[in-house]
Amino acid sequence: MTDHALRLLRQDRRLAELAAFPFGFDLDRAAQGHVEEVCLASGGPLETVAGDDTGGTYFVCADGSVLYADSEGAAGIIGPSVDEALELLIGLPGWRDYTGLSPDDGEEKILACAAETEDGIREYYGIDEERAELRAALGFPERSPVELVGRLRAALLRTEPDFVLSTRTRDARTTDWARPGPRCGSPCSRRDAPISPACGRATPRHGVRSPRTRSGAGSPFEPRSSTAPRAISSCYGICCGTRHGRR
């Protein structure tokens, strides 16, 4: 569990810019902080290291794990280290489209989801050359989407009980979020809408949102299907494949 890649990004402006766009890990946004004051319910420390164009924030926990919190009350561990979290962001652009998937869904379904998500991104932004350059510079191997989905699933399942996010005014209480639900690529997916690689969420074709702005962004944990699964707690919940409303 290392932060070697994070040190390289902080030392090289070109690499930092690639990580920010199109992969949604913007070091400059760390200074802005999260949209509200948050803390771990366990009392552990949090270090803000980056943000994205949707108002989401990347935190490093005491053990090196990376916790992502969106602007609408969802949060979860996405990697045991900054390096592994960055491998995920680079290897699965639009990674929030995959939070409802697990290795049990099988290679065919996962690869189909990856193809659909990345094809949608390519309609508006380049990712292939940028991914190859950033991977090479950071020393990351090329990994299959199947392996990365497995890593993401395992990381999200580690969120409870030690990494539940709370605020000073509301207690953290999570819902039953671990059961699998509808998957990426379901018939109700909005295939006619572009996807921001920084958030993995479909946006209307009219007035495409720039991935470098925070305005107009919805929850990046909300999959593109209006009936896709989502998990939310009364304060901060973990998105990992079940549908629950705010309580």
Cα torsion for 97, 189, 226, 147, to the nearest 10°? -20
Residue 235 lies in a domain: no
Reduced to 3 states (helix: H, G, I; strand: E, B; else coil), residue 56 is coil
* pTM for this entry: 0.74
Residue 213 lies in a domain: no
Residue 187 lies in a domain: no
Q: What is the pLDDT of residues 33-48, one digit of tens each?
A: 898 888 888 889 999 9
What is the tally of structural domains in the chain?
1
Range of the structural domain that residue 86 is part of: 4-167
Residue 211 lies in a domain: no
Residue 206 lies in a domain: no
Residue 174 lies in a domain: no
Query: What is the band of 105 on the pLDDT scale with cuts at 50, 70, 90?
Result: very high
Q: What is the pLDDT of residues 161-206, one digit of tens each?
A: 899 988 765 554 333 333 334 445 432 232 233 333 444 433 322 2
Look at 20-24, 57-61, 201-205 and tell me which has the smallest mean pLDDT: 201-205
For residue 107, which amino acid is it? E
Share of the chain above pLDDT 90, in %: 55
pLDDT at residue 69 tops 60: yes
Residue 126 lies in a domain: yes
